[in-house]
Structure 1
Amino acid sequence: MAILFIVVAVFILFYINKLTNALCVQKEIPEERQPKVFRTINVLITILLISSYVDILLKSL
């Protein structure tokens, strides 16, 4: 189960990065601010994925 969750989490992170790139292009965010946008979104998504994993892990016990 953990391996499946990790595979799905990696797919979600790559897709979110693709969407973030589209957002930066559409909103014409300057190049110097883009790394901060990517970092913020990646940290928030990672926190969401970890909390989801812990929730699933605790419910299965």
Structure 2
Amino acid sequence: MPSAAASASPALVTGRDLAAATGAATELEEVCALLLLLGESERRLLEPAEIAELTAKYGSFWDL
């Protein structure tokens, strides 16, 4: 059975500058790690109110 890395397609991330692109690549890597850890577990999308709460709490940008 091939490893996940061996069968993965390449991904491309961009950013306004090197720091933004590096942050995007790190975020993509973290999402992939979470998906591997969760396996077949049930997942759901965040509700708009949950997104608003997280962006307010952490001062992050979330493009809806």
TM-score range, shorter chain: 0.3 to 0.5
Greater relative contact order (Cα < 8 A, sep 6+): 1
More helix by share: 1
Give the TM-score, by structure 2 length. Answer: 0.45
